[in-house]
Structures are given as structure tokens and as C-alpha cells.
Structure 1
Amino acid sequence: MNESGKKIYLTSSEIASLWTGYMNDSMSKYVLSYMLKHIKDKEIKPVVQHAYDISDSHLKQLEDIFQNEQYAKPNAFTKEDVNENAPWLFSDLFCLTYVNHMAKVGMITYSGFVSMCARKDMRDYFTQALTETANLYNLSMEVAMSKGINIRHPYIEVPKETDYVDSKKYLSGLNPLSNKRPLNAVEISHLYQNIVTNSVGMKLCIAFGQTSPYKEVQDYMLRGKNISKKHMKIFSDKLLEDDVESPHLPDVGVSDSTTQTFSDKLMMFHMSLIISAGIGNYATAGAASQRSDLMINYERLSLEVSRLAKSGADIMITHNWLEQPPGLKDRKKLTREKEG
């Protein structure tokens, strides 16, 4: 209600943000509940517990909003989507890395939601969620640093004076016969970050692939793993051309368990989420990079990832795993049904 007592209805962006937030937190809750069942590390477990508590709290708040707005709650995920008694699948260090990575994704997602919402209560909720997720990211970083597994971006010399681009050659990079200018700090940071995020995606593909009972899901995860490895090499090679080392990634291994741990519906949804985040990362990196070879790389690699996303959606549709987001009614279909 506004100050005059009139009801302010949800906009399309608010409806979309609530639906997406619920789906993501529902998935996270059950992945984290499985991790909590097995984690032994006394420093990592409270971080994962905090992440679980945030997701659980968000779901309760969103359910209240759905009820007040007479908004059909998404089916999302339940305890049936996780086998908490399955053998341990991830190392404790992976659980910490996973929370850190998902917190990064959450910060980007929630900042977008805040910017798309008009109603004050919606802005307040997503601002609170953004703050909680940022605090979770900081907590996970502190624990990672204390354990010596924090992945630091490379150091370069701090600029002592300002400068301007004095030639169009600054933007070039496609001609293999000409010398490319060295990478700038912005380009290095995006190459580095995309190596790290692909590493997390690769480990999830391994874990999901070896525990799925469906061959098409296994093949899909194998394809995702190979794409992640290929992209990591491309980005690492670009850094090495300028004698910048690629990240020393921590040993965040996956066990050899083949017991189904998560439902295929949850695993495929999870992959669609991190693929969407990856495409967003590539778009941001491409826009921020000023060397033409880097721009072209991000564009063509985004297309490859988009094809993977399309294949994943096809599998989910075939098995009725893809829950449909809220949308407009098909007016033509309604008219035809009425005429029939």
C-alpha cells in the first residue's frame, strides 16, 4: 500500500526477481544442507552454515510475500532433490570455494534486482539480501585467506602518472604478424577471474556427471567440463603471452563417489544458473577489454557457452525439469480457445 492506502501492484521485473530469487535460494538450500551433513573442518562449517541460514531465511520471507500478493509459489526444490546420506562428494575446501563463488554470483544478481524494483518493500528486501550476500562473501574470503587458499589476482606496478592512448594501435590485436600491446590491468583482472570461475564450473560438472544416472546428463556434464578446460587454457595463454602467471588454484577436489547425490532436475538447474552467470561475465569482460583479440575471444566463447545452455534447456524440457517463469498470457491462444 502507498501513503494514500492504494495497493501498488508488482511490476513484471519485481515478479521476475521474486521468482528467480526463490528458485536460486531453494536450490542453494539443499546443496548446502548436503554439505553441512559431511563437512568436518571447524572453520569452514560455520561459513557454510551461515550461507544455509541466509537461503532458508530468504525462502521464508519470499513465501510471506507470495502469500500476501496471491502469487503462486514456485515448485522449485525440496528435500526429495538431495540424498543427504550419499557418500561425501566434495572436499571441505571445495565447499568454501563454492560458497565464495556463489556469493559473487549472488551479489551481481541482487544488485540487478534492486535496480529493477520500484516498490519500496521490494527494494528493501533485495537490498537486505544484497548486504547479507556481501557479508557472506567477506566471511568466506577471510576464512580462505586464513587457510592460505585465497586466489589473489596478480600484482602489477602501481601507476606513478596518468597517460592517454595516443594511437589506434592500442585497440588492435588480431594481426598475428604485429606485436600486441601488453595487457592492461582491467584486461588482466577479467582474464584471471574467468579462469577461476571456469575452474569452479569444471569441478561441478565432474561431480554432477559422475553421480547422474542418465547418460544424456552425464554426456552434457562432460561437454561442460571440456568447454571449461578449453576456456581456462585460452585465458591462461593470453596471460602467459605477457609473462603473467595463471591462478594457482587450490586443491578443491571431487571424490570418486558415483552415488546419486542431487536430483538431475537440481543439477541441470544449477548448471543453467552458473552458465548464465558465466555469459554475463564474458559480456562484461568483452565490453571492458580494449584489445580486439580479447573482445573477439569473449564473443565467440560466449556463443559456445550459449549453445551449451540451449542443449541443457532441451534436456530439461524433455524430462519436464524446467519450471516456467511467470509471463504474459498467450492472447492468440486464448482467442482460439474461445472461438473453438
Structure 2
Amino acid sequence: MKDASYTPLASSEIGLLWMTYQEKTMSRQMLRYFAHHATSADEKALLSRVLGEVSGFVDRIRSRFVDEGVAVPVGFGDGDVNVEAPALYTGLFGVSFVRLLAKITSGLSALHLTMAYREDIRSMIQEISALSQRAYGDATGLLLAKGLISRPPIVTSPDEPDFVKDLEYMNGKSIWRKARPLNLVETAHLYQQMETNAFGFELMTGFAQTAAEPDARRYFESGRELARETVDMIQSIFMESDMNPSPAPSARATESTTPAFSDKLMMYCTNILTSFGLGGNALGTTFSLRSDLPLKLIGLMTQVYHFAQAGGKLMIRHGWMEEPPQAENRRELIRA
């Protein structure tokens, strides 16, 4: 029996824990696979450490649900991965996966912290955030040391501050005029989108090669092409400003067609990356002062949104979408 000082979980706290449990159980299974196929000691050490940290949070959240009398989500288990399947990606792809996942979880943790009220939940989210930031730093450092990740374009550093002098600064490219070069805030957001989609292209390639269901295979193929189009579009924007970034992927998909992950897990992973892409595009739109850039990013967001909608429908058709906890349906209760 809980004492009089007990504070039940708020609806937002149940929701954020549910989302975190889904993501962490997916991550744990993918990390098991990548750690199994690690080819170097430093890669193995990083993946194994992150796997242990993720597994610890899975166990803690499950215990929290049990203690609070909340149904434990299904999430993802050992049946969603075949660690003995041949390597689906070459090189340090698993480290790149950790790096991207750390970006996503760092952003989610910042959002979730604003939704948490109980001290123990806030503390757990802060721990997740700290470990995500450490994982991002370690993964980035390892990839840079191996020469397997490119840095954003290098430009001449400004030697003094300046102010915008007229409204032409906000004009974009048109058939009548050239646009000003990208400013470095715009460059930062655009490069992140290009880097993420370069990774997503290889991820979708492996997923498309190994999906069991034909409609899932076609879906991953369309995701692969959307990622390619995004990289090409952003690359052309950079080239117009005489910058030539090349976000070299740390690895490529192999020729394996043996399923390493369940279609359910791959669809959920794609859903997370798609949501991350939508958020990144929204930020890029907000911080872009050249009028043509938001138009291009909004067009891209529309494509990504429709891709996400199609994925949700596919997951529902196959029974792969676990339903989040719901509020009471008072209409049904009254009519019962």
C-alpha cells in the first residue's frame, strides 16, 4: 500500500515513459546486433557500453510501470532481431547509428523534461540526457579519428560583427536574381539535414534488402529515394554558395538479403527517424532568413509528412503499431 504522501504519475509522465520504453527496447535490439558484428576493439567497447546503459533504462522503466500499476508496453524483444544474420552494413555503421540515436534522444530528453513533474521522473530523464550526450561525443570522436565522418564546410572566419543593411538580405533565388550566400546559421541546419539523410539512405537500403513483407520493402525503397533527393537538393543549395560539403557515410549496406531485424522494428525505427527529420526541417525553416529556403524546406516537409503517414497506415494494417496509453473514454463508460 502506498503512503499518504504518494503522488501518482501524471498523464504526461506515463506518455513520455511509454515513448522512451518503445525507443529504448528498439535501440537495445539494434545495438545487440551491431555489437555482435563489431570488427574492432574500440567499436565493440563503445557499442557494448551504450547497450548496457540502454538495457539499464529499459529495466528501470519496466519496474516503474509495474510499481505504478501501469501496463508494461510490449515494445521490442529478442524475437525482433537475428544477431546471427550476416552483417548488413560495413565499417562502423553501428557507431554512426549510436551517434544519430544520441542526437534524437538528446532532443527528446529536452522535450520530455518539460513534461515531467515528479522528481524521480525528472531525474531519470536528466540521466538519459547526460548519457546521450556522452554517447554522441564518443561516437563522433571515434568516427573522426577513423576518418569516417566529414565535417561541415570550412569558411573564412568573420573578423568583425555586422548588421543587415536592407531587405534584399531576405530575398531568395529566383529566375531574375541570384540569392546571397548562405549565412552560417542556415549552413548549420542544412548540413545536419544532409548528414542525417546520407545516413538514412544507407539505413533504408539495408532495410529494403531484408524486409519480409513486399509492401514494407517498397516503403523502405521510397524512403531511400526520399533521402537521396533530400541530399541532392541540399547539396545544390550549398554549391550555389560555392560550398561543396560531402557528408561521407561511415559505412555502406552490404549485399546481404538475410533479415537481421523484424519488419515491425524496422518500421518503428524509420518512424523515429522520420519524426526527427520533420523536427529538423521545422527548425531549419525557423532559422532561415533567405525567402527561398523555407519554401524548399516546407516542400520537403510535405514529402516527409506523407511518407510518415503512409508508414503509419502500413504499420496498422500489419498490426505493428502499439497503441499508446489512452485517457478514459467517458462516452463509452456512460453508455455501458
Calculate the TM-score normalised by the size of structure 2: 0.96
What secondary structure, in the 3-state scheme, does the structure 2 residue paired with 1:84 have?
Answer: coil
- Correspondence for 1:241: 240
Unpaired stretches in structure 2, ≥5 consecutive residues: none
Describe the superposition over 1:50-91 as per-residue Cα deviations: whole angstroms up to 9, x where unpaired. 221111011011112112211111000110111111111111
- How many residue pairs match? The answer is 335
- Correspondence for 2:44: 45
Percent identity of equivalent pairs: 30
Give, in whole Å, the separation in 2 of the partners of 1:332 and 1:297: 44
1:247 shift after superposition? 2.1
- Correspondence for 1:34: 33
Describe the superposition over 1:249-272 as per-residue Cα deviations: whole angstroms up to 9, x where unpaired. 045111111111111111111100
Give, in whole Å, the separation in 1 of the partners of 2:61 and 2:102: 19
- Correspondence for 1:82: 81
Give, in whole Å, the separation in 1 of the partners of 2:268 and 2:153: 33
Give, in whole Å, the separation in 1 of the partners of 2:4 and 2:134: 36
The answer on whether the counterparts of 1:30 and 1:79 sit within 8 Å (CA) in structure 2 is yes
Describe the superposition over 1:155-213 as per-residue Cα deviations: whole angstroms up to 9, x where unpaired. 22222222211211111115321121111001111111111100111111111111012
1:68-217 equivalent positions in 2, closer than 5 A: 68-217=67-216
1:309-320 equivalent positions in 2, closer than 5 A: 309-320=308-319
Instruction: Tell me the C-alpha RMSD between the 2 structures.
Output: 1.5
Give, in whole Å, the separation in 2 of the partners of 1:26 and 1:251: 24
Calculate the TM-score normalised by the size of structure 1: 0.95
What secondary structure, in the 3-state scheme, does the structure 2 residue paired with 1:36 have?
Answer: helix
- Correspondence for 1:275: 274
Describe the superposition over 1:222-270 as per-residue Cα deviations: whole angstroms up to 9, x where unpaired. 0000011001110000000011012240451111111111111111111
Q: Mean Cα displacement is larger for which, 233-242 or 148-157? A: 148-157
Give, in whole Å, the separation in 1 of the partners of 2:176 and 2:150: 34
The answer on whether the counterparts of 2:149 and 2:250 sit within 8 Å (CA) in structure 1 is no
- Correspondence for 1:222: 221
1:280 shift after superposition? 0.5
1:5 shift after superposition? 4.8
- Correspondence for 1:64: 63
1:334 shift after superposition? 3.1
Give, in whole Å, the separation in 2 of the partners of 1:335 and 1:114: 35
Give, in whole Å, the separation in 1 of the partners of 2:10 and 2:170: 41
What is the one-letter code of the residue matched to 2:56? S
Describe the superposition over 1:102-151 as per-residue Cα deviations: whole angstroms up to 9, x where unpaired. 11111111111112211111110000110011111111122112212232
1:12 shift after superposition? 2.3
What secondary structure, in the 3-state scheme, does the structure 1 residue paired with 2:92 have?
Answer: helix
